[in-house]
Amino acid sequence: MGTPDFSVPALKAILNSEHNISLVVTQPDRPKGRGRKVTPSPVKQVAKKFGIEVIQPENINNPLITKQLKALNPDLFVVVAFGQKLSKEILNIPTIYPVNIHASLLPQYRGSSPIQAAITNLDKTTGVTTMIMGESLDTGDILLTSTTDILTNDTAESLHDRLADMGGDLICSTLDAISASSLNPVPQNHKLATFAPMLKKSDGEIHWEESSEKICAKIRAMTPWPGAFTNFNKKTLKIFRAEPIKSNESGTQPGTILEYPNNEIHVASGNGAVNILELMGKSGKRLKADQFLRGNKLEKGMKFTNNDS
């Protein structure tokens, strides 16, 4: 059971293993892109290429779907970013148990945006976890984990892709260990749990009073979605790449434009400054700082602001 790109490496890994997939469950085809063309999910596209039966219920807990799943008498479910909550009745169908892949080292960052949370919080490492699914979100017993460093240039996109591939490897290791009866599920320490709720567009807003390191981490965490942004002259600027730098102008109000050495854009932060490397203005094109400055007039002392400023 899976839907987006994150689910695909796990599906491919199982298909290339000794384990047998009897059915793929994914979300219904949805409109996508500017043209709103109805498009099958990435998981469906892969399953069809391999000739695997696919169903796309609007509601996985529909009694007819429940009956269909029970008739398969499956040993296991593998659930990866499926997008629907499974009822207790559905969870009880597998003869062994339902397994979920989650993009964090549980119990840290339960919820729908663990990748963005790890980058935003300047974590040094993250990973993927396989666990037994329960009725409550991401609270089940841990089966296996795999860890990776968070690189200084990682965006949510690059880390997403790496963790997705790791999830494919980890689910096969998990299934192999289950088959060999060599796994001992470990209960999560719920007292250590943290949460990463679903992102909103407003979460991409930059708060210049934060440290330069925190601001740059947020920019990376919000790329590609929802995108990091700030306001300038009542218009929105999206920022795609930036780096923390030292500033010789201590005491400058955060958000103030400082200078343009080598056509770079330096902006005061809570503890130094941020060098903006790539951004997008009203042109709608992603530009390097020097390209942006050719068509946009910025002056030292001008300010980038928050929506509530």
The 8-class DSSP code of residue 210 comes to S
Tell me which of 196, 231, 253 is where a domain ends: 196
Q: Tell me the Cα Rg of the chain.
A: 23
Structure token pair of residue 170: 């980890």
Alpha carbon distance, N-terminus to C-terminus of the chain: 45
Residues 77 and 91 in one domain: yes
Residues 189 and 225 in one domain: no
76-79, strands of its sheet edge to edge: 76-79, 97-102, 125-132, 142-149
Residues 209 and 237 in one domain: yes
pTM above 0.85, yes or no: yes
Indicate the Cα dihedral angle 164, 95, 62, 141, nearest 10°.
-50
Residues 222 and 123 in one domain: no
In a domain, 306, yes or no: no
Residues 178 and 272 in one domain: no
Residues 79 and 131 in one domain: yes
In a domain, 305, yes or no: no
- The residues near 251 (Cβ < 8 Å, ≥ 6 apart) are none
Nearest Cα neighbor of 226 from 198, 202, 197 is 202
The reported pLDDT for the residue numbered 32 is 87
Tell me which of 178, 196, 214 is where a domain ends: 196
Tell me which of 143, 177, 196 is where a domain ends: 196
In a domain, 300, yes or no: no
Residues 37 and 148 in one domain: yes
The reported pLDDT for the residue numbered 308 is 64
Report the domain count for the chain.
2
Max Cα separation, the chain? Answer: 70
Binned average pLDDT, 10 residues per bin, the chain of 309 residues: 98 97 97 89 98 97 97 98 97 98 98 98 98 95 98 98 98 98 97 97 97 98 97 93 88 89 90 95 91 89 81
Neighbouring C-alpha atoms within 13 Å toward the C-beta of 95: 6
In a domain, 307, yes or no: no
The reported pLDDT for the residue numbered 130 is 98
The reported pLDDT for the residue numbered 261 is 78
Residues 156 and 232 in one domain: no
Q: Which domain holds residue 220?
A: 201-295
Structure token pair of residue 216: 């740059």
